[in-house]
Structure formats: C-alpha cells, structure tokens
Amino acid sequence: MRRRSWVLLAADFLMPLAAIGVAVYLLRAVPANLLRQEFEGLGAVVCFLVYAGIFLWYVSLAVAQDTKQAEEANRGVGSSPSFAEEKGERIQRENVEFKGPLPLFGKPARCEQVE
C-alpha cells in the first residue's frame, strides 16, 4: 500500500478547519439569542443522526448474525441425498458421464457415453 503524501494529510486537517472558520465568519453578525437557538437545533439534529446511525448499525449486525445462523441451520437439513442426486449417481454407475443439471422429468439433456 502506498503512503499518503503530506499534501493529502494536510488537506485532511485543513479542510475541516477551514469549514469551521467559514461558519464562524458567517455567524458573527447573528444576534446571541438567535445563535443559541441555532446551536440547540443543530445539537438536536446531530444527536438524532448519531442515534439513527447506531440503530442502523445494530440492525445490520443482527441481520448478519441471523443470516449466519440460518445458513448454519440449513446445512444440517439437506444432509440426506435427494432424489436428483441418487438419479445422478445411478446414471454415473451406468457409464454415462453427465454434463449439466438433472432435469425433474425425463432424460438428462446432455449425456455422453464414456469409453
């Protein structure tokens, strides 16, 4: 992995700093009581977004865990050979090489005789 250049590291630090500076410059003419209300509203929005992000993170973890448990449970259910697998073994025992999925009814679509 390549190391990031010092220009990119400086930009990562200076861009948020510049954004804060621009916000402070634009808000300098706003009266103090109105500025307090603006920051209270901004704080409420930030808290809501943080809580929503944490909630979605927990939901994604729960869905991933549920999917993993369902896959593990399904592995044990299909352990006995199905009718199609038994039919495929019977075809192979009769010196027929099968190439493709087994059909539900009739003969397999592509079978070649093995010499």
Predicted confidence (pLDDT) per residue in 2-30, tens digit: 666 888 888 888 998 999 899 889 888 88
Q: What is the pLDDT of residues 24-73, one digit of tens each?
A: 898 888 898 898 898 899 999 999 999 999 999 999 999 999 999 888 88
CA distance 74 to 96: 31
CA distances from 112 to 5, 27, 70, 96, 97 (A): 61, 80, 39, 6, 6
DSSP line for 65-81: HHHHHHHHHHHHHT-SP
CB 111 within 8 A of CB 96: yes
Q: Once rounded to an integer, what is the mean pLDDT over residues 77-98?
A: 56
DSSP structure class, residue 100? S
Q: What is the pLDDT of residue 94?
A: 56
